[in-house]
Structure 1
């Protein structure tokens, strides 16, 4: 056999082995869809939105996202977070905001997607069990709405769940992948 062929063949096999070993295993994940509906009102303000995971006893397991007005001077945007009453009472008032990777500016009308992977914040310490995804929205000169979807973590199989808001929120979707 040609020594040149052996050398390149071995290198190709070694490279293939390293590629296979370097490919990460797929981790469990959550994909959350939040729809902010277009409202026909005289004075429209983008809603503040909180997305979190609750345990069976209604305690907060993890805050996934908080959208609020970060640009108001003197951090005045945090003053209105208490309008998201459930989130504020259960965990919001205890948090030191802003939180990197969790807080962000309010979002416009439309569908927004959030993705989370097992082992990474904010799912890093989420043990197996039954939970609820909760989405709460509150809007200045508007209303407040809370939508929840029960789910099991980690999922035994890929699951798609949904709920529908009535006023401040549109469709809420949750995809749980093992």
Structure 2
């Protein structure tokens, strides 16, 4: 191997070690999408960190809450100080009352959501992000269905042993 390649690799390993020492959680999160990176192995998740499937399962719990038709049950999936930037409203909801209010309106459309793409980033044992796209099927009072493709970000935090949504952003796809 040429000497300049060895020096470049050594510099990359040294820079990785410095970054990991300075901010291990941020570094780990930043490298989770670099599957061929040599430094990915050095920033491996701690055993207590949740896996991607555990985080993706939180969406299923949210969807099950939607299926109840009860806005209070849906709001239970959010932290007390959770923030919702909803798909079908221009108003940001920053407390439980606002989240319940949004879902009172939204659940009237009998929403069913299906993820079409999910990218999970585990930040640490108590924090994770699921970002992607989903498709809502909405049914009006006459039984007519329509779909809305949207992108989403769920930020989860584990509090008292339960994963709660601390931030949820959803917006309709601009090219839909």
Question: More relative contact order in 1 or in 2 (CA 8 Å, sep 6+)?
Answer: 1
Looking at secondary structure, tell me which structure has more helix per residue: 2
Q: TM-score, normalised by structure 2?
A: 0.27
From the CA coordinates, give the structure whose radius of gyration is larger. 1
